[in-house]
Chains A and B, each alone.
Chain A
């Protein structure tokens, strides 16, 4: 059964900072079907029109978070955005705002990952050895499904940077960690396996920390995984000023014998 094909115009932002090439838009005519994604269209243009087109992508299924870009004015994942749902004959692709640009649609995530790394996004627990030499020393935590529910939503983050690029505070304040790092702070705070709450709260309770979020909510609006970073940030704020209490009990360990 043949599916209806139509032509759309793909406008792609082009620049190469190393070659001092002035920024401009290149237009490509691409044939699309109902299920064609923006990434498919870009790869079509790259394959048949201009092989120098710079795109970053990997999994094509909204799991790796590599293909984030501004599509028709909104940060989205190119692999997760169908052209048919945009209802437009012209699709405009720009690099993600608030990220340093490298080439065409490829941006530099160094600062973004530095903010993420700064909040120590891993389980802190003194009872667990950092290096396990003897496999009999392996232990696991006891967590109830209710314990998991408290942080599960926030653990879906794929670090695609869409929330970071949509955040108006990130656009003006380079020291602001951004919604991704802040929501991950909450994710570990809510996790009963973690006991590093005070360390992380010290990091984010700063002049350029969590309090610079003015709750525009645009991070949650663009998140492709339904993480809702704005919720995590507000819960963190509530905890810091003592409105909400984090009454978690650190999960107990279960040895191999149990």
Chain B
């Protein structure tokens, strides 16, 4: 599996970049909450309206992807420090990748349903 053969420096480059991008896009997401009173921005019709805005949908998808990659790689790093053997490391990498793909797929499904694309 080519993804498992990435050098650690390449994985960490992705880790740092997704972390920086996640902070940037989450900041934009929070700013969206502040353009009107916070409680009002979370009312049902406003949330649905957000989902119908294509730029906002792209923003949500990007946040989902960046946070999933960054978060699940962080989890992988923590878990591979627990035990040092090839079986454990490969199993953890595969499980974490599968979980990441699962979360991105489920989140994308929610965004697509919400935006009625």
Chain A residues close to B by CB (< 8 Å):
169, 172-175, 205-209, 211-212, 237, 240-242
**CB atoms of B9 and A205 under 8 A apart:** yes
The 7 sampled A-B contact pairs (Cβ below 8 Å) are A175-B84, A207-B8, A207-B89, A209-B8, A211-B8, A211-B9, A237-B12
CB of B7 within 8 Å of the partner chain? yes
Q: Which residues of B contact A211 (CB under 8 A)?
A: 8-9, 12, 77
Residues 1-37 of chain B: 1 if any A CB is under 8 Å from the residue's CB, otherwise 0?
A: 0000001110011001000000000000000000000
7 more A-B residue pairs beyond the given contacts A208-B80, A211-B12, A240-B12, with a C-beta to C-beta distance below 8 A: A207-B80, A207-B89, A211-B8, A211-B9, A212-B81, A240-B9, A242-B13
Q: Which residues of B contact A207 (CB under 8 A)?
A: 8, 80, 89
| Minimal beta-carbon separation of B95 from chain A (angstroms) | 15
Q: Which residues of A contact B8 (CB under 8 A)?
A: 205-207, 209, 211
With the chains together, A209 CA to B89 CA distance in Å?
A: 14
With the chains together, A237 CA to B9 CA distance in Å?
A: 8
| Minimal beta-carbon separation of A178 from chain B (angstroms) | 14
Q: Tally of A-B residue pairs with Cβ under 8 A?
A: 31
With the chains together, A169 CA to B80 CA distance in Å?
A: 12
Most chain A Cβ neighbours within 10 Å, of B13, B16, B80, B81: B81
Please classify the interface of chain A as helix (H, G, I), strand (E, B), loop, or mixed, using the class held by over half of its residues.
loop
With the chains together, A157 CA to B81 CA distance in Å?
A: 27
* Contacts of B77-106 to chain A: CB distance below 8 A: 77, 80-82, 84, 89
**CB atoms of B7 and A205 under 8 A apart:** yes
Instruction: For chain B, give the interface size range.
Output: 10 to 19
Chain B residues close to A by CB (< 8 Å):
7-9, 12-13, 16, 77, 80-82, 84, 89
With the chains together, A210 CA to B16 CA distance in Å?
A: 15
**CB atoms of A208 and B84 under 8 A apart:** yes
B85 nearest CB neighbor, chain A only: A175
A172 nearest CB neighbor, chain B only: B81
| Minimal beta-carbon separation of B43 from chain A (angstroms) | 42
| Minimal beta-carbon separation of A223 from chain B (angstroms) | 23
| Minimal beta-carbon separation of A182 from chain B (angstroms) | 13
| Minimal beta-carbon separation of B81 from chain A (angstroms) | 5
Q: Which residues of B contact A237 (CB under 8 A)?
A: 12
The 7 closest A-B pairs by CB, nearest first: A240-B9, A175-B84, A173-B81, A205-B9, A241-B13, A211-B8, A211-B12
B84 nearest CB neighbor, chain A only: A175
| Minimal beta-carbon separation of A25 from chain B (angstroms) | 31
**CB atoms of A172 and B9 under 8 A apart:** no
| Minimal beta-carbon separation of B77 from chain A (angstroms) | 7
With the chains together, A237 CA to B16 CA distance in Å?
A: 12
With the chains together, A206 CA to B84 CA distance in Å?
A: 13
A241 and B82 in contact (CB under 8 A), knowing A207-B89, A212-B77? no
Q: Which residues of B contact A241 (CB under 8 A)?
A: 9, 12-13, 16
Q: Which residues of A contact B13 (CB under 8 A)?
A: 241-242
| Minimal beta-carbon separation of A116 from chain B (angstroms) | 19
Cβ-defined partner of A174 (8 Å) among B12, B16, B84, B89:
B84
B89 nearest CB neighbor, chain A only: A207
Q: Which residues of B contact A174 (CB under 8 A)?
A: 84
